[in-house]
Amino acid sequence: MTIATDLIQPDRGQDAIAIHLVNSDSFESFAKGLSGPQRAALGAQKFKGSGYQVGIVPDGDGWFAVGGVADPQDLSSWCLAKLAEKLPAGTYRLADIKPGSAMFGWQTAQYRFTRYRDDSDAEGPRVLLTEDVAKIELVSAEAQAAVLVRDLVNTPAEDMGPAGLEAEAERIAKAQDAEITVTRGDALEKDFPMVHAVGRAAERKHAPRLIELEWGDKSHPRVAIVGKGVCFDSGGLDIKNSRGMLLMKKDMGGAAHALALAELIMKAGLKVRLHCIVPAVENAIAGNAFRPGDVLNSRKGLSVEIGNTDAEGRLILGDALTLASEGEPDLIIDFATLTGAARVALGPDLPALMARRDQTAEQLIAAGKAHDDEPWRLPLPEGYREWLKSDIADTNNTHTNGYAGASVAGLFLDKFVGEDIDWAHFDTFAWRPTAKPGRSKGGAALGLRAAFHALRGRYG
């Protein structure tokens, strides 16, 4: 992990620097209580109380900080993030208010991806004190989960191939006393034929695998979390151009979300029987790569004509969703960096959500809004199912008219989810192209907190 684990600590009266929060409406009143030199200091910093502004105010032999927020009495996850990024290393406490959900952004703002460079010159941590001790453990676990997604997605494919995802699953299993099962290489061909077909062209060190984690009391409701683990996507024989390939280390972002969510569920002790499934492959090019026009078998028994080898994520998810359905779960949630169409529709910040049941979609959306991680629902239109028809197989993996790409991909996945099972699908970008306070450029957890808090409300 590349954030410290003790950035939020219980307030027991330790020495700390005060942080006062204001907005543009309340700043004038706040400034009247300051001395002339203090007002001059803020004026020199052009501080006016606007959002994300940070000011330093001299106070005798010391100083205090002032932060601009939208509403000083109603803090979002990101209200303290700029302060955590810009203030000097040290220990701080808010004046007159508890940090609440802003503890999350205080931690994620201090994220650094340091695997490949020396960060020893970076300034030390900024620690926030709070009297709200009961929330520290949960919010810190959420921040660590979000950082895990960032770390996994930011790591290049050479070091985060299928074996890297397996190693991460093993770490989680050991730490949380979960059971892990891994099926690798040619052993996949019989039971997970689409996972095998997509991954078979990769070199041996990046051989495909199907990773399963099981955890929890068997008497509790079964919940399956599935994540697309395409560790690099060349496009296969329908090869991407160089620009299209540049970010394809992030195509395992769904797997990163699934593993992070699984660990978060375990740490929180939710009353579920958890089944986490990650099909992990590299979609490579070689003489044994699957081809456009091939017909693949699937675990479910459906035959799938390959209209495009670059629509490979839905294939490996098909086998994984079939496996998840066999356990007759109360709920399945899958995460995938599945379609460019979802990004065209919603941009980088909003994960697309598709769900069979309105109530489940509403729970996920409400949880996301409450925790600054809002998904946006897209439909699964019955009338579009015919676009996946094949002349020679049970279904094609793509459609050709170019319309509603995210929804049609969701409809393909729906074919592999058991009948009447409650299922939700996140088509998430897992990447932030530009930095925002608390949200660094690069790998991003989008939909993670929405899913966790919906599960917490349902099974907590």
Is 314 a catalytic site residue? yes
> Do residues 191 and 301 touch, judged by C-beta distance below 8 A?
no
Instruction: Determine the Cα–Cα distance for residues 132 and 143; give it in Å rounded to an integer.
Output: 17
Q: Does residue 296 sit in helix, strand or coil?
A: strand
| Helix-strand-coil split of the chain, %, nearest 5 | 35, 20, 40
Give the active site residue among 135, 240, 436, 456.
240
Rounded Cα–Cα distance for residues 247 and 59 (Å): 48
Q: Is 12 noted as a catalytic residue in this protein?
A: no
What torsion do the CA atoms of 441, 443, 446, 448 make, to the nearest 10 degrees? -130
Helix (H, G, I), strand (E, B) or coil at 70: coil
Q: Amino acid identity, residue 99?
A: P
Among 300, 334, 316, 307, smallest CA distance to 418 is for 300
Q: Are 217 and 204 in contact (CB under 8 A)?
A: no
Q: Which of 222, 228, 250, 314 is catalytic?
A: 314
- Which sequence positions are flagged as catalytic? 240, 314
